[in-house]
Amino acid sequence: MKDIVFSTATALASAIREKQVSAMEVLEAHLAQIAARNPPLNAIVTLDAEGARRRAHAADAALARGGIWGPLHGVPLTLKDVHSVAGMRTTAGYEPLAGYVPAEDGTVAARLKSAGAIILGKTNVPCWRVTSKPGTLSLAAPTIRGIFIARQEGLAAARVQQSPPDWRPLISVLISAARFGSPLTSAACMA
């Protein structure tokens, strides 16, 4: 399969089921991409490569026996760090929770796993994921090695592009977001 890391979850699931690619190959491609791209971005804050490898191996073994776990069989993915995953650190972006490891899956993780997904890690979130104006933009970093990064609060979306767009609308949104920022978030993140 060509361009594994840029394929949709639907395409990956189909390719894995049709044995065009193994769950382990898909996982290793994603882990290589994370290793190459994540360090300057800090997008993935918790990575369970070994746990993901065990699950990918089990997914491939199940498929070899004719079993399919669900529509996402063998597809690796990450969750925002506000979703509990058994055995995986969950901080909600709040530093005092840095050592919290839940004993059981939250609803989102449980449903994804039951659909066959492989949860390989957690992505960064702002402190406590609290915003007073969901959908407003905040700047994660103006530029990192020429890459512009903006995050849409409350929408779990990120946009990475090689050159920044016109800064005036973005700066206007940032000023508005700062003006209406949550005091709870600010106080908690400074604690």
Assess whether 28 and 106 both reside in one domain.
yes
Residue bearing the bigger pLDDT, 2 or 134:
2
Summarised one tens digit per residue, pLDDT across range 30-67 is 999 999 988 888 888 899 999 999 999 999 999 999 99
- C-alpha count within 13 angstroms, C-beta hemisphere, residue 47: 16
Question: Containing H/E element for 88?
Answer: none
Tokens coding 146: 């020429």
Same domain, 178 and 98: no
3 state SS of 128: helix
Alpha-carbon span 30 to 76, nearest angstrom:
8
Quick one: 97 and 179 in the same domain? no
Write out pLDDT tens, residues 108-134.
Answer: 999 999 999 999 999 988 775 544 334
Domain that holds residue 98: 4-125
